[in-house]
Structure 1
Amino acid sequence: MNKNTNKVANFFTWLIVLALTASCLLPLVNMVAISFSDSASAAANQVGLIPVHFNLSSYRMILEDHQFWLSFGISIERVVLGTLINLVLIVLMAYPLSKNKRDFHARNIYMNLIIFAMLFNGGMIPSFIVIKSLGLMDTIWALVLPGAVPIFNVILMMNFFKGLPNALEEAAIMDGASKMTVLLKIYLPLSLPGLATVSLFAIVGHWNDYFSGLLYMNRAANYPLQTYIQQLNIDITKVTDASQLHALTSISNKTLNAAKIVVSTVPLLLIYPFLQKYFVTGMTIGSVKE
């Protein structure tokens, strides 16, 4: 009886998992199909999971634009620079906060401050005024510095550090190692799952953010990729000759928007498999807040 009950439970569990997986994958497959279809089929809602009247015009319009590659380079620069800054500041803040009050007397004060900062912020207008006052408008620093210390990631990494055995640090200090040596030679090598988790959060956050580009960039030439593709639309009033008009007949904003989503998702899909093996472990170990 128990065996049969377990089989039935497993069957319904797998059924629910497959249904949830399909609910996530099918809209993405439909979006890819729309991006490879012509404008008439997409407008008539004839596209399901397979492209109708296969068409590459939307991708050609995006990829042949010089601004696309310029914005792509800006986004790559932002992700690399922003992630490095995030990781350095997260580690340097999380390590002392992982100690008890006896080792770090002001720990509770700093914890209260960062919790407050996580729940409340100055808002968009004060942030804009600060960036403008510092002369950072239209620079890469305006995209990476406002989110340089993600508080949630600090707490995640802090709890990861707290899960490491104290005996390792005590033994290293008895051998003459400094706190920085302990952090660099012991804690960081043992913290790859946690570092991979916060790195993935940072990469996704920097890559997907388009609003910062709208807020802090005055010139389109400085737009990151997400801001560029969010602003990209078909404007028939800018068509100057018959060949351009003919090329635009197979494109609509619906197919173009679908191509935008696909293009902006591909880099993350390429990165995720390399970090996925650490991701679950990092989330599990560092997920409990104090």
Structure 2
Amino acid sequence: MNLKAAKGDLDSKIFDTINIILLVTFTIIIVVPLWNVVVSSFSSGRSLAEGGFIFWPTEFSLENYQAVFRDASIWNAFFISVAKTVIGVITHVFFCAMVGYGLSKKYVRGRKFYVSMGVVTMFFSGGMIPTYLLMKDLGLLNSFWVYIIPALLSFYDVIILMNFFRNVPDSLEESAKIDGGGDWRIFLSIFIPLSMPAMATIALFNGVGQWNDFMTTKLYITDQSLYPLQMMLYEIIVQSQTQSMQNIGSVAIQTTTKGVQLATIVVTTLPIVVMYPILQRYFISGMMLGAVKE
């Protein structure tokens, strides 16, 4: 028994050591490039022009961020990104919750047909050109609502909420009906508060998707006043990488396109990094939905 226990302890130590080495390696692989982007964004144009990996800025400078924040189009793009993310998340979660609530009721006529049709949309789409023609016929080209209306429904999220609503005790709904509550009152007062972990998880995923989306803009928007931050970042990336003098307002700032690009990356990523810890507890609870069955 002692030999087996000793062998077990040795195997456990080897396993733990390998795990630690792998986790530290993966952490370094993930953190180092992010650190390089952040540090490089605070470096001067001269340091960036020299090239190479920057672990710490040799010439600390805020020129890149001045170039970003003094550009009026960046502020407008930031407003568009925030607006489409906030409105898109609220409408998406609420719309999916309404559909999921209806489909969670077994007495709804045609429920199986609606669920089957919804599942089909998870695997097949109309394609890029038919979707473009549809957006054109709906009058959504060069419209802010092209960010909102097509993203109202995701049947994957509907299934998550539908399964969550099924776990709500029927006694709660029955008691609410006895007290005179209608479907809307029951939905808003009982099911919505009880489903906050699931809804927060969906909101986080959808919010990240809305914030990072630039393909919608590239396909359906030509009006630059409707460009979000990600499209502005895309425009910066495709620009020339040569060093240039940029006149921003009344101040001439020596910078590079790469420096402005890095600063824009930090600015566009920061809001999601700030929001994640706030929603993390809901995110963990939501991810555990259905993982354990009592």
Task: State the TM-score bracket (shorter-chain normalisation).
Answer: 0.7 to 0.9
Match of 2:57 among 29, 39, 51: 51
Is the 8 Å Cα contact of residues 159 and 285 (structure 1) preserved in structure 2? no
Closer, same or farther: CA 169–15 of 1 in aligned 2, 3 Å: farther
Equivalence for 1:264: 268
Equivalence for 1:276: 280
Closer, same or farther: CA 286–153 of 1 in aligned 2, 3 Å: farther
Closer, same or farther: CA 143–287 of 1 in aligned 2, 3 Å: farther
Equivalent position amino acid for 1:85 in 2: T
Equivalence for 2:30: 24
CA distance, structure 2, for counterparts of residue 181 and residue 219 of structure 1: 42
Q: More displaced, 150-159 or 232-241?
A: 232-241
SS of 1:52 mapped into structure 2? coil
Is the 8 Å Cα contact of residues 156 and 286 (structure 1) preserved in structure 2? no
- Residues 74-113 of structure 1 correspond to what in structure 2 (within 5 A)? 74-100=80-106, 103-113=107-117
Asked if residue 68 in structure 1 is aligned to residue 74 in structure 2, the reply is yes
Deviation by residue 1:222-267 (Cα, 9 ceiling, x = unmatched): 21111122112358799688x999734x42x333322221111001
Is the 8 Å Cα contact of residues 41 and 47 (structure 1) preserved in structure 2? no
Closer, same or farther: CA 6–240 of 1 in aligned 2, 3 Å: closer
Equivalence for 2:151: 147
Q: What is the TM-score when the length of structure 2 is the normalising length? A: 0.85
Equivalence for 1:9: 15
Is the 8 Å Cα contact of residues 49 and 243 (structure 2) preserved in structure 1? no
CA distance, structure 2, for counterparts of residue 279 and residue 8 of structure 1: 33
Is the 8 Å Cα contact of residues 100 and 161 (structure 2) preserved in structure 1? yes
CA distance, structure 2, for counterparts of residue 119 and residue 206 of structure 1: 21
SS of 1:247 mapped into structure 2? strand
Equivalence for 2:217: 213
CA distance, structure 1, for counterparts of residue 71 and residue 191 of structure 2: 46
Equivalent position amino acid for 1:228 in 2: M
Which has the larger strand fraction?
A: 2
Equivalence for 2:161: 157
Is the 8 Å Cα contact of residues 36 and 55 (structure 1) preserved in structure 2? yes
Match of 2:129 among 99, 114, 125: 125
Closer, same or farther: CA 185–43 of 1 in aligned 2, 3 Å: same
CA shift, 1:170, in A, is 3.3
SS of 1:285 mapped into structure 2? coil
Closer, same or farther: CA 106–49 of 1 in aligned 2, 3 Å: farther
CA distance, structure 1, for counterparts of residue 48 and residue 245 of structure 2: 22
CA distance, structure 2, for counterparts of residue 259 and residue 237 of structure 1: 15
Asked if residue 229 in structure 1 is aligned to residue 233 in structure 2, the reply is yes
Equivalent position amino acid for 1:115 in 2: V
SS of 2:253 mapped into structure 1? helix
CA shift, 1:139, in A, is 1.9
CA shift, 1:186, in A, is 1.4
When the two chains are superposed, the root-mean-square deviation of aligned CA atoms in Å is 2.8
CA distance, structure 2, for counterparts of residue 55 and residue 200 of structure 1: 34
Closer, same or farther: CA 37–79 of 1 in aligned 2, 3 Å: same
Is the 8 Å Cα contact of residues 89 and 148 (structure 1) preserved in structure 2? yes
Number of aligned residue pairs: give it. Answer: 283
Unaligned 5+ segments in structure 2 are none
CA shift, 1:8, in A, is 4.3
CA distance, structure 2, for counterparts of residue 105 and residue 20 of structure 1: 51
